[in-house]
Chains A and B, each alone.
Chain A
Amino acid sequence: KAGVTQTPRYLIKTRGQQVTLSCSPISGHRSVSWYQQTPGQGLQFLFEYFSETQRNKGNFPGRFSGRQFSNSRSEMNVSTLELGDSALYLCASSLAFGGGGSPLHFGNGTRLTVT
């Protein structure tokens, strides 16, 4: 079974631009979660999608948004980029949503650098 695929692997953007990240979950997984990882803040939960609906959201500004398609693939968008958005963005898929003891399967992330 193919793992979680995130594209692109690396991105360099300028302040004020917007960016879209993509995540393809493991086949059969309907839940996709997004996390931001920085050295100072660790892993911070962004949001989770299940069956094309956002089920949970972390404490991030509205510049961070996402969506999920009928094939469970998910995209994350960050508008009006700020220097502080530089981070490793991780996507994870699982069978169930909202925890419940279902392990998360992570992609290798997209490294976003904002200059």
Chain B
Amino acid sequence: SQQGEEDPQALSIQEGENATMNCSYKTSINNLQWYRQNSGRGLVHLILIRSNEREKHSGRLRVTLDTSKKSSSLLITASRAADTASYFCATDSGTYKYIFGTGTRLKVLA
């Protein structure tokens, strides 16, 4: 069963714009991670945020976590065509496995 649900399912923006995608989950977590997947390839780890953190930055990525709302958001600033991919959140709820969300398909138009 899916723990995380990403929203929106698909997003299309122009190069240079910011892209925001959200992840909601159901149970309390130890940490939450975001991954990127280019078409037909494996997932690449982007960033991890722990349950006691509220915001984290990595380059053009900004992740926020609101444990009271059981939600996280990933912001990609100044998007590039190369950012076109699917983005997944993955939660660690102490069940000794990561549960992945359904993903957001991002398309950045040049």
Contact = CB atoms under 8 A, between A and B. Distances in A.
Interface string A57-83: 011000000000000000000000000
Contact of A43 (B41, B45, B95, B100): B100
A25 B18 CA distance: 35
Interface string A71-112: 000000000000000001010100001111101111111010
A23 to B, nearest CB: 11
Contact of A100 (B2, B35, B92, B99): B92
Interface string B35-70: 100001111110010100000000000000000000
A57 to B, nearest CB: 9
Counting chain B CB atoms within 10 Å of each CB, the highest count among A4, A104, A107 belongs to A104
Given A90-B42, A106-B44, A99 B103 contact: no
Contacts of B1: 59
B: contact size bracket? 20 to 34
A92 B50 CA distance: 21
Contact of A55 (B31, B33, B96, B98): B96
Contacts of A59: 1
A107 B33 CA distance: 17
Contacts of B45: 103-105
B7 to A, nearest CB: 14
A45 B97 contact: yes
B103 A90 contact: no
B14 interface: no
A42 B31 CA distance: 20
Given A42-B2, A99-B30, A48 B43 contact: no
Interface of B: 1-2, 30-31, 33, 35, 40-45, 48, 50, 88, 90, 92, 94-103
Interface of A: 4, 6, 33, 35, 42-43, 45, 48, 55-56, 58-59, 88, 90, 92, 97-101, 103-109, 111
